[in-house]
Chain A
């Protein structure tokens, strides 16, 4: 086995470590802390945050890649399989390897299409063949319901065991280290428990059935949806992160220095935002495609090529989407820099950099936090549209956009193949819904206009 490190793996780990460090090393000021406490003291806030954490956790598991060594040949030289796996693949290996021939419905025993088959005495007949893996262990189709119920019961019991173990550890840790907070513990631990049970159930049943069926080439749909989590989370977080330096740097400089700087920044963001995002992204992706086409030899693995395109896509997202936040920050900085404490700081001879970092940045930070959480879900949704246009992530990468795009014609089949699109929809919907609900809570807590109205914190 040898580890394969993709650039996006490094970036997502750096991002998560950076965020954790940011929150542990820098003690936020009491007001910011009160805002966050408000977010996490609501059931909705902490529940959605937990769901987001689970998605990020799966994305992190899926970001540890390796290649398997092939069996040694005669000359003792070690060759590696061209297939790049991740830790998540290894967890879900059962589902990954059980490839059927073509479509099959959720929990199906028989394939979706009829085939020519031979009876034992050589006669030709046409019927739905049994699946190669799904429910193979059953002798009789009637046993399916009982078997699923029995296995589910076992899986839930097993999951409950793991879940309570995890919760017990967390409770113990919490009692020792973390000060009691207003967080709704019952909600958090209950949800965590439910998620562990669900995952164990998926793993247990997934190794005997195709829970969400299989797609056109016979791959397990649920496995694909889980694999797509990495793409969604990475696009959302990396692209959002990339917008920040431009938006914060340029926006605050424009509002603080005014004059020429302001003119230049305004020109820049008017120009950029006058090009429709989707066209600019499409144009840039076309250019990157041509670049990859012409530099094919620099990418030794398909994974490297796909990863390069993926990162380029994130960069383009980031480069085209900073204008909205930049405009907000500029306006807010214009307001803030007129305030008395900034004048006082100037009179005391504090440098420009000092004023910006100490006095202006903390006072516009709420805008940044609100837009970060909102942008995340926008990017996740945008990915599916781009895949449809044909300028999304590489076909070799699992993504909800690619799944929807390939499943779009399946609804017109008879009987309808609904599971592929449904599965992608649910996974994406839960992520985006959690992000949006969380961003609502964040906005309620951080937006000064919201705290005034008082009747919005539902």
Chain B
């Protein structure tokens, strides 16, 4: 098991390197730093000195892969690829265009992101699973038909509408909670409750649809029929047989997103003014701050790979037949 995990970590390196090459290619080769400077500084016929100055400030004045002017190892390290991309591997994210340390920002913003994303994930998952179970219990009935129609409708609404509509109804019409903002500590609760509820409702339709299919598939298996033939009550079948067996594919399926919860949700956070990593990323995109986008891309791929690893481990935990070699 430990050997497996160690090997998976080694496998992760080429993947992260690939991620780095893709982002590096996007940001430095398709668009040279000169072009970035031009687009940032905005003025049409800008002087070459200003561009050089802009590049120097942000450390973009190095060659891409190979620095011919330096000697020895330095010709590899004094390059854009090393200073901007390889350093990410030791979580050295560098500075934003405004000069703040990205690493500090990430540490500071992780908690607010988690404060929204974690409740949405846990409550949303349990609500969706319970609803799916109820729907499966009353399968092939009018109730199922109407419930599933509701789910398709919920699922067909853009997440933007949930946020805008929720803010409008709860914050403006009913004046229940503040529309946006954030305070540290316990007082954050009144700011968090609306985004959490909206996050849960927005994910409900899709969740119930998927989990219902998983439960239905389980409900048609032989052991369920055997249990029914033995005279086990429907409720007992539901909770003793269907739920535990259906939970296996559901839980192993959602494990992959758990590490990424730190990143928060891009749109929700910026709508509600929560100073998390999601709004950090959006600000970065809006300000065309490539160093932020690059760091966030790298961070999320690291978390995704950890998520994949956790998925594999969770298989062995819930299903003894699976062995990691």
**Is A294 a contact partner of B293 (Cβ separation < 8 A)?**
no
**Is A283 a contact partner of B15 (Cβ separation < 8 A)?**
no
Secondary structure of the B contact surface, majority rule: helix
A335 within 8 A of B: no
**Is A388 a contact partner of B22 (Cβ separation < 8 A)?**
no
Within 8 Å CB of B216, what residues of A? 453, 455-456
The minimal Cβ–Cβ distance linking B246 to chain A, given in whole angstroms, is 14
Q: A274-B15, A283-B27, A290-B39 are in contact. Are A388 and B267 (CB under 8 A)?
A: yes
B83 within 8 A of A: no
Q: A271-B19, A274-B19 are in contact. Are A458 and B145 (CB under 8 A)?
A: yes
**Is A384 a contact partner of B160 (Cβ separation < 8 A)?**
yes
**Is B153 a contact partner of A389 (Cβ separation < 8 A)?**
no
**Is B140 a contact partner of A455 (Cβ separation < 8 A)?**
yes
B159 within 8 A of A: yes
Give CA–CA (A25, B323) in the complex, Å. Answer: 49
A80 within 8 A of B: no
The minimal Cβ–Cβ distance linking A433 to chain B, given in whole angstroms, is 4
The B1-42 residues at the A interface (CB cut-off 8 A) are 14-15, 18-19, 22-23, 26-27, 30-31, 35-36, 38-39
The minimal Cβ–Cβ distance linking B19 to chain A, given in whole angstroms, is 6
Give CA–CA (A22, B22) in the complex, Å. Answer: 36
Within 8 Å CB of A437, what residues of B? 152
Within 8 Å CB of B305, what residues of A? 270, 274
The B156-212 residues at the A interface (CB cut-off 8 A) are 156-161, 164, 167-168, 172
B114 within 8 A of A: no
Please tell me the size bucket of the interface on A: 35 or more
B62 within 8 A of A: no
The minimal Cβ–Cβ distance linking B93 to chain A, given in whole angstroms, is 15
Number of B residues with CB within 8 Å of any CB on chain A: 54
Within 8 Å CB of A284, what residues of B? 26
**Is A411 a contact partner of B155 (Cβ separation < 8 A)?**
no
Give CA–CA (A433, B149) in the complex, Å. Answer: 10
B296 within 8 A of A: yes
Which of B65-73, B98-106, B234-242, B279-287 sits within the interface?
Answer: B279-287
Contact of A389 among B157, B285, B288 (CB under 8 A): B285
Give CA–CA (A88, B39) in the complex, Å. Answer: 36
Per-residue B-contact encoding for A268-300, CB less than 8 Å = 1, 0 else = 001111111011101110110111011000000
Give CA–CA (A286, B26) in the complex, Å. Answer: 9
A260 within 8 A of B: no
Which of A62-70, A235-243, A424-432 sits within the interface?
Answer: A424-432
A94 within 8 A of B: no
A390 within 8 A of B: yes
Q: A278-B266, A279-B293, A287-B30 are in contact. Are A385 and B160 (CB under 8 A)?
A: yes
**Is A384 a contact partner of B158 (Cβ separation < 8 A)?**
yes
The B113-141 residues at the A interface (CB cut-off 8 A) are 139-140
Contact of B152 among A280, A287, A381, A440 (CB under 8 A): A440
A406 within 8 A of B: no
A398 within 8 A of B: no
The minimal Cβ–Cβ distance linking A183 to chain B, given in whole angstroms, is 21
A116 within 8 A of B: no
**Is B23 a contact partner of A388 (Cβ separation < 8 A)?**
no
Give CA–CA (A293, B37) in the complex, Å. Answer: 12
**Is A404 a contact partner of B300 (Cβ separation < 8 A)?**
no
Give CA–CA (A412, B175) in the complex, Å. Answer: 13
B304 within 8 A of A: yes
Closest to A452 in B: B220
A449 within 8 A of B: yes
A421 within 8 A of B: yes
The minimal Cβ–Cβ distance linking A418 to chain B, given in whole angstroms, is 9
Give CA–CA (A388, B304) in the complex, Å. Answer: 25
B322 within 8 A of A: no
Within 8 Å CB of A278, what residues of B? 266
B92 within 8 A of A: no
- Scoring B26, B156, B288, B300 by chain A CB atoms within 10 A of each residue's CB, the highest score goes to B156
**Is A381 a contact partner of B35 (Cβ separation < 8 A)?**
no
Per-residue B-contact encoding for A372-395, CB less than 8 Å = 1, 0 else = 000001000100110011110000
Closest to B173 in A: A416
A436 within 8 A of B: yes
Within 8 Å CB of B38, what residues of A? 293-294
Give CA–CA (A387, B282) in the complex, Å. Answer: 12
**Is A458 a contact partner of B286 (Cβ separation < 8 A)?**
no
Q: A286-B285, A293-B39 are in contact. Are A436 and B297 (CB under 8 A)?
A: no
Give CA–CA (A408, B217) in the complex, Å. Answer: 42
The minimal Cβ–Cβ distance linking A322 to chain B, given in whole angstroms, is 15
B290 within 8 A of A: yes
Within 8 Å CB of A275, what residues of B? 19, 22-23, 297, 300-301
B86 within 8 A of A: no
Contact of B148 among A279, A280, A381, A458 (CB under 8 A): A458
Per-residue B-contact encoding for A153-173, CB less than 8 Å = 1, 0 else = 000000000000000000000
Give CA–CA (A319, B237) in the complex, Å. Answer: 44
A125 within 8 A of B: no
Within 8 Å CB of A453, what residues of B? 216-217, 219-220
Q: A287-B26, A294-B38, A411-B164 are in contact. Are A385 and B158 (CB under 8 A)?
A: yes
A26 within 8 A of B: no
Closest to A425 in B: B161
Closest to B301 in A: A274
Contact of B293 among A273, A286, A289, A293 (CB under 8 A): A286
**Is B15 a contact partner of A267 (Cβ separation < 8 A)?**
yes
Q: Give me the 3 closest cross-chain CB pairs, A-B, nearest first.
A: A274-B301, A271-B18, A455-B140
Q: Can you list 25 contacts pairing A with B, beta carbon distance less than 8 Å?
A: A270-B308, A274-B15, A274-B19, A274-B304, A276-B260, A282-B285, A286-B285, A289-B39, A290-B36, A381-B156, A385-B158, A385-B266, A388-B160, A388-B267, A389-B286, A404-B164, A408-B164, A432-B157, A435-B156, A436-B152, A436-B156, A449-B217, A453-B220, A455-B216, A456-B216
Interface residues of A (CB under 8 A from B): 267, 270-276, 278-280, 282-284, 286-287, 289-291, 293-294, 377, 381, 384-385, 388-391, 404, 408, 411-412, 416, 421, 425, 428-429, 432-433, 435-437, 440, 449, 452-453, 455-456, 458
Q: A274-B300, A275-B297, A453-B220 are in contact. List 8 more A-B contacts (CB 8 A).
A: A271-B301, A275-B22, A280-B297, A286-B285, A385-B160, A404-B158, A429-B157, A436-B156
